[in-house]
DNA sequence: CATGAATGAGGCTTCATTCAT
DNA sequence: GATGAATGAAGCCTCATTCAT
């Protein structure tokens, strides 16, 4: 009937909304979307359960906002990592590392993103396509500069993301640490030269 | 598929168990684990709700069995696709295609596997490590034969799986079809030669 | 997701459904639809709250069944009251009395019916049109026999029901008793001869 | 309409109270008492939620005021319609028409009144008895003038109201229009001459 | 083996009302 | 006067699981 989550207009409201978002991030990240309940989120945020619905119309909505924020942050840190660089090899290394570091530092957020696809595919798809777009743009520039093999840069981007994602899943989410150097080197060698012997 | 009842049962019992597993596969595949209910599964299987607990101690248990079966099937079809082949390039192509074809044909099963990690990480990890092992073994053989670049073959396997998985996710789950030829060719070129210009 | 109220197949289930219907009748009749809660109904019925939803998919649905039953009963008792009679005046008197007696004896049910129109208009409309149809049929017979003034028998039926309903509301629901004889006589005189002096 | 603030207020306060009453009239009329919320009312009125409780101590209280106003208006328009007239038949027709027209034009208000009886019986009873009184007074005059059949004029009033109310319910609330002429004629014939053949 | 009724905890959400600013 | 954030009780409903037959 009455789903109109307000953007808060006072400072106090802003603070409450923030507390809720933080609490949701931690709760959903630690326990997963289905195990986390609105009640556990508000308990953690230190507000009444009803307060939740002043700012979010449903548990799904806060997930959406969470994933959007994560996407923004991740894209930003990718850009930051690569921005000033000119050496192609360094760019690859820093890009991959930025992604992995984000996954390690934000292990829980990373899981939230992955899980979102089972709650509402649209959330995840949006996150994903935007990230892929960012990669694709970089790769197109590099292609035009003749630095990398020609081909569908979108497919290349997906391949790159697949690798980063999988190393991220294994090392950060499952083992909670950055991949050891030899794994990174192997992955980078793979990215640069594929599997063919030189 | 390949149901192995844990409790020895009569022929009738065997049949019931089978109906349950099939129903679960379709229900969970179509609606997701949390949306599918024990009651919807038994309804689809055409048995009473209580019957479920004669064969499975919980909803999670049937998921575990499901994912195990899927893993077995996927590994088998990878082996089948590659087994007789000797040409390296053909091996790569057929391996990737086998994976993608499985994902396309069994779109729902594919989702079940991905989702399992948010219900019980152990289920997914087990599935994953076994699949990676299969890849790794193949890659080690190829390395020893000097056909591919040296390096951590485990990391290479993960990278390969990352690519396959992502293309699988995009084309089968999101778009419901096999990737077009140019995408496959780009991916294969990537696998063979990475991003470096020739 | 799963709204499939079962018709019970065992005697026990039949009994439970009955207990629920009885409890709902009393709870809603005494406290009104919005004040009565599913929990108060099941408490009164002596079953768990979840049991309610085995038999009814919502609070509204049990209201619908309640009103349907009341309609059936009321139409039956109108027929019973009039059936054998041949004298027109006696028919009018008995018909009106049957209605009023029903309202007095089932004061609460009467309120339930009236209230239903604010929960789901369709429930009430159905109840009402069927009752009016029954009246209309009787009036048409009488018209053809030349015993009553010609005119839209549907409108006449509605007028009759209006009178019965209002006396019912006042005397049974508000004052909890049958109207005194002079009120009934006045009403009957009105029905027979309207307001015109003889 | 005719708002009489209970608390003496400034001109600005007067205006706010008015906005609230108007908004409540529309909200409750369109959606019903239970579906309309204080928040939807204040939103419609364009004031903050807390403001509501400056003027009304509860949601019920504004309903009470609403129904009182409606009753006043309805009685006034009945009087207006009949006041100058001297021909009995014309009086009947205009009285009935006035009532029906009010119901049609104020379909929503009509529902509000009817619904009020399920929120607080006293509200409706008060409305009702006052209206009946007005009718009764007219009928007593007519009886004394010998224009209409003798009998309990209160019962006659109730009967008249029953008819008007039912036609009102059917045509204005359910079908949203004035009854067609033949229905009105039938009803008037009924009122004048009852069901007896001439 | 199979049934299906019963459970009851727990989830999400709404909303009238209060209160500090 | 007015605001709008905050409350918390209460409501409806779902569902995995148990158990008597």
Q: For B155-164, what is each residue's pLDDT tens digit?
A: 878 888 888 8
Q: Give chain D positions within 8 Å (CB) of A1.
A: 35, 37, 40
The answer for residues whose C-beta is within 8 angstroms of residue A5's C-beta and 6 or more apart is A53, A54, A55, A56, A57, A61
- In which band, very low, low, confident or very high, does the pLDDT at D6 lie, cut at 50, 70 and 90? low
- Mapping DSSP onto H, E and C, the string for chain D reads CCCCCCCCCCHHHHHHHHHHHHHHHHHHHHHCCCCCCHHHHHHHHCCCHHHHHHHCCCHHHHHHHHHHHHHHHHHHHHHHHHCCCCCHHHHHHHHHHHHHHHHHHCHHHHHHHHHHCCCCHHHHHHHHHHHHHHHHHHHHHHHHCCCCCCCCHHHHHHHHHHHHHHHHHHHHHHCCCCCCHHHHHHHHHHHHHCCCCC
Nearest to D164 by CA among D128, D196, D197: D128
Between A2 and B37, where is the model more confident? B37
pLDDT given at position D3: 40
- A57 or A142: which carries more pLDDT confidence? A57
Mean pLDDT of A90-95: 81
pLDDT at site D4: 42
Q: Which of B114, B98, B87, B141 is nearest to B28 (CA)?
A: B114
Roughly what angle, to the nearest 10 degrees, separates helices B181-193 and B153-167? Answer: 170
CB-based burial label for B177 (10 Å; 0-12, 13-18, 19+)? exposed
Q: At B87, list the tokens.
A: 């040409």
For residues D149 and C193, is the Cβ–Cβ distance under 8 A?
yes
Check if residue C37 sits with its Cβ under 7 angstroms from strand F.
yes
The chains in contact with chain D, meaning 3 or more Cβ pairs closer than 8 Å, are A, C
Q: How far is CA C168 from CA C63, C88, D159, in A?
A: 21, 22, 11
Cα of D165 vs its chain's centroid, Å: 10
- Average confidence score pLDDT of chain C: 87
Cβ contacts of C162 on chain D, cutoff 8 Å? 159, 162-167
Q: Is A174 helix (H, G, I), strand (E, B) or coil?
A: helix
Q: Do chains B and A touch (3 or more CB pairs under 8 A)?
A: yes
- C164/D162 CB distance under 8 A: yes
Alpha carbon separation from D85 to A27, D81, D191 (Å, rounded)? 76, 8, 18
Q: Is the pLDDT of residue A57 over 90?
A: yes
| Spatial contact of C155 and C100, defined as CB atoms under 8 Å apart | no
SS3 assignment, position A15:
helix
Question: Which tokens hold the place of B138?
Answer: 């193949």
Q: Does residue B10 have a pLDDT over 80?
A: yes
Report d(CA D151, CA C68) in Å as an integer.
37
Give the contacts of C84 (CB within 8 A, at least 6 positions apart): none
Residues sharing a CB contact under 8 Å with residue A11, sequence separation 6 or more, in sequence order: none
Band the pLDDT of A53: cuts 50, 70, 90. Answer: very high
Per-residue pLDDT, B7: 61
Average pLDDT over residues A119-127: 91
Residue A38 has φ and ψ, to the nearest 5°, of: -55, -35
> What pLDDT sits at residue D198?
61
The label of the residue with tokens 């009393």 reads C26
Query: Cβ A166–B187 below 8 Å, yes or no?
Result: no
Please give the average per-residue pLDDT across A2-12, as a whole number. 71
Looking at chain D, how many residues does it have? 198
The sign one gets for the Cα dihedral B11, B12, B16, B22 is positive
Give the mean model confidence (pLDDT) for residues A110-117.
90
Task: Note whether D touches B: 3 CB pairs or more under 8 A.
Answer: no
- The per-residue pLDDT for B2 is 39
Q: How far apart are CA A162 and CA A165, in angstroms?
A: 5
Question: What pLDDT is stored for residue C4 in this prediction?
Answer: 61
Q: Give the DSSP H/E element, type plus range, for residue C193.
A: helix C181-193
D149 strand F contact, CB < 7 Å: no
pLDDT per residue as tens digits for the range A60-85: 999 999 999 999 999 998 888 888 77
User: What pLDDT, on a 0 to 100 scale, did the predictor assign at position B34?
Assistant: 95
The predicted pLDDT at position B65 comes to: 96
* pLDDT score of B149: 82
In A15-130, the DSSP E strands lie at none
Output the average pLDDT for chain D.
85
pLDDT band, residue D9 (cuts 50/70/90): low
Q: Compute the distance between CA of residue B26 and CA of residue D134 in angstroms, rounded to an integer.
A: 69
Contact partners for chain B, using 3 or more CB pairs closer than 8 A, are A, C
Q: Is the pLDDT of residue D36 over 80?
A: yes
* Integer Cα distance of B76 and C162 in angstroms: 78
Residues 6+ apart with CB under 8 A from D45: D16, D19, D20, D22, D23, D24
For residue A10, pLDDT over 80 is answered with yes
Query: Which residue did the predictor score with more confidence, D83 or B20?
Result: B20
Q: What is the pLDDT of residues C167-187, one digit of tens each?
A: 888 888 788 888 888 888 888
Residues A20/A41, Cβ–Cβ less than 8 Å? yes
Q: Assess whether C38 (CB) lies less than 7 A from strand F.
A: yes
Q: Give me the count of residues in chain C.
A: 198
C41, C27 contact by CB (below 8 A): yes
Supply the pLDDT for residue B1.
Answer: 42
More confident residue, D163 or A33: A33
Say which DSSP state B179 is in. P
Which residues in chain A are contacts of B158 at CB distance < 8 A? 163, 166-167, 170, 187
What residue ranges define each of the domains in chain A, with the CATH number in brackets?
Answer: 1-57 (1.10.10.60), 59-193 (1.10.357.10)
Question: Which of A6-15, C70-79, C173-182, D96-105 ranks highest by mean pLDDT?
Answer: C70-79
Spatial separation of the C-alpha atoms in residues B23 and B38, rounded to whole Å: 10
Report residue D22's pLDDT band, with 50, 70 and 90 as the boundaries: very high
Q: C184 vs C40, which has greater pLDDT? A: C40
Place of tokens 């789903």: A3
Q: What percent of chain B has pLDDT over 70?
A: 95
Instruction: Please work out, in degrees rounded to the nearest 5, the angle formed at the alpha carbon of residue D54 by the alpha carbons of D50 and D58.
Output: 80
pLDDT the model gives residue A89: 78
Does the pLDDT value for residue D18 go beyond 90? Answer: yes
**How many C-alpha atoms does A84 have within 13 Å on its Cβ side?**
0
- Pick the residue from chain A with its C-alpha nearest to D36: A1
Q: What is the pLDDT of residues C126-161, one digit of tens each?
A: 998 898 888 788 778 888 888 888 877 877 788 888
Closest of A74, A70, A68, A59 to residue A20, by C-alpha:
A59
pLDDT at residue A177 tops 60: yes
Distance of residue A107 Cα from the nearest chain B Cα, in angstroms: 14
The pLDDT-based confidence of B61 (bands split at 50, 70, 90) is: very high
pLDDT at B8: 52
**C83: helix, strand or coil:** coil
């Amino acid at each position: 009937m009455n789903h109109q989550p307000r953007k808060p207009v006072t400072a106090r409201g802003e603070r409450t909304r923030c507390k809720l978002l933080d609490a949701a991030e931690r709760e959903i990240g630690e326990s997963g979307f289905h195990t986390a309940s609105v009640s556990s989120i508000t308990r953690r945020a230190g507000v009444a359960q009803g307060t939740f619905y002043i700012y979010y119309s449903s548990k799904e909505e806060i997930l959406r906002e969470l994933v959007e924020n994560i996407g923004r942050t991740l894209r930003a840190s990718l850009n930051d990592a690569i921005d000033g660089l000119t050496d192609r090899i360094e760019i690859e290394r820093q890009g991959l590392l930025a992604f992995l570091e984000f996954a390690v530092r934000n292990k829980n957020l990373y899981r939230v993103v992955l899980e979102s696809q089972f709650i509402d595919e649209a959330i995840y798809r949006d996150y994903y396509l935007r990230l892929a777009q960012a990669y694709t743009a970089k790769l197109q520039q590099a292609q035009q500069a003749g630095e990398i093999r020609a081909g569908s840069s979108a497919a290349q981007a997906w391949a790159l993301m697949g690798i980063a994602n999988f190393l991220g899943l294994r090392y950060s989410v499952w083992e909670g640490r950055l991949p050891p150097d030899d794994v990174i080197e192997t992955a980078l060698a793979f990215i640069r030269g594929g599997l063919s012997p030189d």
